[in-house]
Amino acid sequence: MTWREIQKDFPILNQRIGEHRLAYLDNAASSQVPQQVVDRLEEYLTREHSNVHRGVHALSQRATESFDQAREKVASFLNAPSSAQCIFTRGTTEGINLVAHGFGRKFLGKGDTIVVSALEHHANIVPWQMLGEERGVSLRVIPMNDRGELLLEELPDLLDDSVKLVCVNHVSNALGTINDVARVVELAHGRDIPVLIDGAQAVPHMKVDVQELGADFYAFSSHKMCGPTGVGVLYAKKKWLDRMNPFLGGGDMILSVTWEGTTFNEAPHKFEAGTPPIMAAIGLGAAIDYLEGIGLDAIGAREAELLAQATERILEVDGVRLYGTAEEKAGVLSFDVEGVHPHDIGTILDSQGVAIRAGHHCAQPVMNRLGIPATARASFAFYNDEEDIDQLIDGVRLVKEIFG
């Protein structure tokens, strides 16, 4: 398989935006879906669709089997000890909120502290602020340097007896920094503090082993790893799942319901009230097969190559400033052009068929730390190529030309 051939798996890439070829460089927001996943969704919808765990009939058995298989694929993808520890959510955001609700409200109270990092997405800040407001829990922040690297040498000083949880992303969506989460876990566990890792930007680009990392919680979204929207996964250690409060109440999460009370089902069902996103979960399973078929190491290496090329080329354009220059970096290029607001960069690139994101990337504290309102962000996937980079660079030159 060559990368050229792999591109053919993504029919959506082969289209024109106005008179220009599409250069899709907004993969950190949502990646594209290969034909193999589309086919699997079609097969499900035309052969298997029905509700799961409820019917005695053939279709329900087929749907249940496919749904359960998808969970097995997730478990093996993460190297989780058991698929029962992989909860289907609506996405990373819901996974983190589930922990804030099920773990936070159960175990945290007044005077306790949660440590987060300076690089977090709002999804890993706001749920903790909300919990803090409700329970009198305060937040403490691991600082970063100007390159966008966390200052982990300061973490030990932040970890006193009041700290009950550390929350950090594996890869920053705003700057691309790959954080040394294994080190975070080591330091936190040294003081018996559990760690939640937001893996939304990591799982599409590198092999993740939750046991090797020692993560207590690990959350990600399907739509950033070639799967459909509407589903994500929260992995958690069994000791926490057994003791946490359920999240939503309803069908499927119970063993029995009487007017006197309810007995909850066990994980994962305890945390999956109502009809789950069956189709999307099966699509996620197919996306995992697809990524593993290519190999995550090969994917990571290809993306590193694209990032290196794009970085070198964009720096040749006068007035371009890069944000996020960490030593360990995934395929994210956050930049601006002197004297031009990122939104104007985004509009001009769009007119040339180049899809990027402009804004604060749901990481306003990162922007504030860097003293900028926003950045333009090109983010790469393995199905991008040199032509996409050419088009990006030509677009940035056009920005310069228009703004003089």
Partner 1 sequence: MTNMRALYQEVILDHNRKPRNFGPLPEATCQATGDNPLCGDHYDIYAVVEDGVIQKVGFHGEGCAISKAAASMMTVRAKGKTVDEAREMIEEFRQMLTGRLDLSGEHSLGHLTVFEGVSQLPQRVKCAVLPWHALDAALRGEEVTSTEGEADVWTEE
Ligand X SMILES: Cc1ncc(COP(=O)(O)O)c(C=O)c1O
Residues in the site for partner 1, rule: CB under 8 A? 17-20, 339-344, 347-348, 350-351, 358-360, 364, 367, 373-374, 398, 402-404
The binding track of 221-250 with respect to ligand X, each residue x by CB under 6 A or -, is: x----------x------------------
The two structure tokens encoding residue 235:
């992995």
| 212/164 Cα distance (integer angstroms) | 22
Task: Tell which residue, 359, 345, 357, 356, has the closest CA to residue 398.
Answer: 345
Task: Tell which residue, 300, 313, 324, has the closest CA to residue 380.
Answer: 300
| 41/38 Cα distance (integer angstroms) | 5
User: Which residues ranging from 124 to 183 are in contact with ligand X (CB under 6 A)?
Assistant: 169, 173
| 11/216 Cα distance (integer angstroms) | 38
> Which residue out of 86, 167, 226, 362 is catalytically annotated?
362
Residue 209 exposure: Cα atoms within 13 Å on the Cβ side: 4
User: What is the closest distance, in whole angstroms, from the C-beta atom of residue 179 to ligand X in the complex?
Assistant: 11
The two structure tokens encoding residue 312:
């070198």
200 binds ligand X (CB under 6 A): yes
Task: Tell which residue, 322, 312, 308, 325, has the closest CA to residue 376.
Answer: 322
User: What is the closest distance, in whole angstroms, from the C-beta atom of residue 356 to ligand X in the complex?
Assistant: 15
261 binds, among ligand X, partner 1, none (CB under 5 to 8 A by kind): none
User: What is the closest distance, in whole angstroms, from the C-beta atom of residue 389 to partner 1 in the complex?
Assistant: 21
66 binds, among ligand X, partner 1, none (CB under 5 to 8 A by kind): none
384 binds ligand X (CB under 6 A): no
Question: CA distances (Å), 356 to each of 40, 172, 287, 361, in order?
Answer: 29, 16, 23, 11
User: What is the closest distance, in whole angstroms, from the C-beta atom of residue 170 to ligand X in the complex?
Assistant: 8
| 78/82 Cα distance (integer angstroms) | 10
201 binds ligand X (CB under 6 A): yes
User: What is the closest distance, in whole angstroms, from the C-beta atom of residue 85 to partner 1 in the complex?
Assistant: 36
Q: Decide if 392 contacts 349 (C-beta within 8 A).
A: yes
Applying CB under 6 A, among 92, 375, 379, 384 the residue interacting with ligand X is 92
Question: CA distances (Å), 267 to each of 95, 111, 283, 284, 353, in order?
Answer: 14, 30, 22, 20, 45
User: What is the closest distance, in whole angstroms, from the C-beta atom of residue 358 to partner 1 in the complex?
Assistant: 7
Q: Determine the size of the site formed for ligand X (CB under 6 A).
A: 13
User: What is the closest distance, in whole angstroms, from the C-beta atom of residue 387 to partner 1 in the complex?
Assistant: 19
For residues 300 and 373, which CB has a smaller minimum distance to partner 1 in the complex?
Answer: 373
Q: At what angle do helices 278-294 and 58-78 cross, to 10 degrees?
A: 40
347 binds, among ligand X, partner 1, none (CB under 5 to 8 A by kind): partner 1
Q: At what angle do helices 296-315 and 386-403 cross, to 10 degrees?
A: 30
121 binds ligand X (CB under 6 A): yes
Stretch near ligand X under the rule CB under 6 A, chosen from 105-113, 195-203, 301-309, 344-352:
195-203
User: Which residues ranging from 359 to 378 are in contact with ligand X (CB under 6 A)?
Assistant: 362
For residues 93 and 113, which CB has a smaller minimum distance to ligand X in the complex?
Answer: 93
For residues 125 and 152, which CB has a smaller minimum distance to ligand X in the complex?
Answer: 125
85 binds ligand X (CB under 6 A): no
The binding track of 332-361 with respect to ligand X, each residue x by CB under 6 A or -, is: ------------------------------
For residues 232 and 342, which CB has a smaller minimum distance to partner 1 in the complex?
Answer: 342
Q: Is 362 a catalytic residue?
A: yes
Which residues have CB under 8 Å from 339's CB, separation 6+?
A: 319, 403
The C-alpha angle with vertex 132 and arms to 166 and 222, in degrees rounded to 5, equals 55
Stretch near ligand X under the rule CB under 6 A, chosen from 15-23, 55-63, 85-93, 393-401:
85-93
The two structure tokens encoding residue 164:
């009950």
DSSP state of 179: -
93 binds, among ligand X, partner 1, none (CB under 5 to 8 A by kind): ligand X
Compute the radius of gyration of the chain from its Cα atoms: 22
Report H helices in 22-91. 35-43, 58-78
The secondary element (H helix, E strand) that includes residue 382 is: none
Length of the chain: 404
- Catalytic residue numbers read 362
- Residues contributing to the site for ligand X (CB under 6 A): 91-93, 121, 123, 169, 173, 198, 200-201, 221, 232, 362
